[in-house]
Structure 1
Amino acid sequence: MVRGTIRKIYLFSTVALLLFLVASLFVGTKPVTATRHRPQNYTDIPVLNYHKVDTLYHSLSISPEEFEEQMAYLHENGYHAITPDQLMNYLNRGKPLPDKPVLITFDDGYLDNYTNAYPILKKYGFTATIFLVTDLIGNDPRFMNWDQVREMQKNGFIFGSHTASHAVLTKLPTEEALKELVSSRQKIASELGRAPRYFAYPTGAYNLAVEELVRTAGYTAAFTIRYGQAGVSSDPYALERIPIFKSAKTFRSFLIRLNGAPLLERLGIIRN
């Protein structure tokens, strides 16, 4: 009861903040006219971006308790986890999605994704997409091994590429960058029986030349860490996500980021 009351207070204060921001946004501004037709009932899609779920302090980590609180909120409020295929079919062809869709993603493939996040996601009936640094999978104790990855795949989890070595592609010569993309994709295909269709940029670094390399390597779409929601106006090789960071008020921050993404992105008042 107390927990539910606290959540309601958080949600109320979050909505109040967003209403204030909406009002301030349109004071003294001209109406914005849409430049692209959107289908009836169209909505942008939140793509959550996690890294680590553990008790060790790290700027990219949240605790298992915090992660469960967030997943419980999504479950209790009617959200449905979707796959990247569902997202792209919706954006490209208007194929219907379940009510309140959310794409849950993790970067890197840390072991705690399996030991801590995986049981919580299963508890609430969610799946996720994990972008793997393939040279580290099975070779570094901080990361998952391929048996764990295969187990998660059998339970509906999707795996994409995060390069072979977590290389910053914008800093590499073209040939080396392409090798990172291709070798990672080939490794995942050999271990999981299917080539990954989706990619996430290490450190979020990309440019038009790197986007073209990702396309050349055979990927269908790619995700950034640029704050926002994925929509019909998004570049399929630069899809926005909502990064979830450790903070003094992680759950409140989570609510604000989840519910206020389009407005906060436009105002430019939230960091990636």
Structure 2
Amino acid sequence: MIYWYIFSALMLLSWLVWRVLVREKIPQLRVLMYHKVSGNGDRDGLTVPANSLEAQFNYLLKQGYTPLLLSDLLNYTRTQTPLPQRPVLITFDDGYRDNFTVMYPLLKKYGMKANIFLVPAFLQPEQAHDHANNEYLQLSDIQAMDQQLVEYGLHSYDHKSYKKLTPDEINQDIIATKRLLQSMDISYQPCLAFPYGAFPKRNPVKRLQFYKTLAANDIELAFRIGNRLNRLPLRNPLLIQRLDIRGDDPFEKFVSLLRKGKNKI
């Protein structure tokens, strides 16, 4: 019996070593999901303090990660243009104004790249420029950010959950989103982040219809949450998983999430 336990332990150890070694060799894409960035130290589930974001940027660079723009990932999926060895896609949802006032200076400082998923109904008029409660980006903010460092994607028209909408309502929502951004002369990539990370995933028929709706609207990349790493090549470009970077988590949680995600891949 003792030999059986020893044999089982050795087999388990061998499997764990193999799993780690193989996982390190599998090409993976990490997609980080942020929302707000605070310049005064505030932190919560959606708000990362500027000093924490700076530490995360610094860590990414020291660990050899290369930030991507959405167009880089599109080129990879369209033409198999090679990605760097440790690619990371940094994304921000909703288009908060602190993405410009707080995040963007850090982006320039560290030579990073980021992608902002916009909700056009949230964008602020220019006359609100001096208002203290001006929460979302303005057109001038978007125009001021270097297109070599920042690109934009879609995040629905007014942030309704796609899980609760009919296929026709989702279709109309995407059309309205693109139309309003075009009317504001905002350049965007054909990429969509689901509001709340939600989509009709339980019902196979509705899920297939959802993919068809995205494709009919020329959406080439779509993002949920999931908190897992994405093996390359992507199994489904319309269901890319993102890692939820929370402001109330310790730095060690960021490192762990970046390394292996919440669950095994």
TM-score, normalised on structure 2? 0.79
SS at match of 1:113: helix
Q: Equivalent of 2:64, from 69, 73, 78?
A: 78
Q: Which runs of 5+ in 1 are unaligned?
A: 1-22, 35-40, 268-272
The sequence identity of aligned pairs, in percent, is: 28
Show the counterpart of 1:215.
215
**Aligned partners of 1:193, 1:245: CA distance in 2, in Å?**
28
Contact 2:152 2:187 in 1 (8 A): no
Q: Residue 187 of structure 1 aligns with which residue? A: 180
Q: 1:229, CA displacement in angstroms?
A: 2.1
Q: Any residues of structure 2 matched to 1:197-212 within 5 Å, and which?
A: 197-207=190-200, 208=207, 209-212=209-212
Decide which structure has the larger Cα Rg and report it. 2
Instruction: Decide whether the 8 Å contact of 2:152 with 2:188 is kept in 1.
Output: no
Does structure 2 retain, via aligned residues, the 8 Å contact 1:170–1:210? no
CA RMSD in angstroms comes to: 2.6
CA distance in 2, matches of 1:110, 1:156: 17
Q: CA deviation at 1:60?
A: 1.5
- Given the superposition, is the C-alpha separation of residues 88 and 229 from structure 1 closer, same or farther in structure 2, using an over 3 Å criterion? farther
1:253–1:124 Cα change, 3 Å: same
Counterpart-to-counterpart distance in 1, 2:81 and 2:189: 21
The equivalent of 2:236 in structure 1 is 235
Code of the aligned partner of 2:214: V
Map of 2:90 onto structure 1: 104
Tell me: CA distance 1:101–1:127, structure 2 relative to 1, closer, same or farther (3 Å).
same
Corresponding residue for residue 37 of structure 1: none
TM alignment of 1:52-201, pairs within 5 A? 52-54=36-38, 55-91=41-77, 93-139=79-125, 141-192=134-185, 194-201=187-194
Alpha-carbon spacing, 1:99–1:44, altered in 2? closer, same or farther (3 Å): closer
Q: Distance in 2 between matches of 1:79 and 1:94?
A: 19
TM-score (norm 1): 0.77
Q: Distance in 1 between matches of 2:136 and 2:115?
A: 16
User: Unpaired segments of 5 or more residues in structure 2?
Assistant: 1-11, 126-132, 201-206
How many residues in Structure 1 have an aligned counterpart in Structure 2? 232
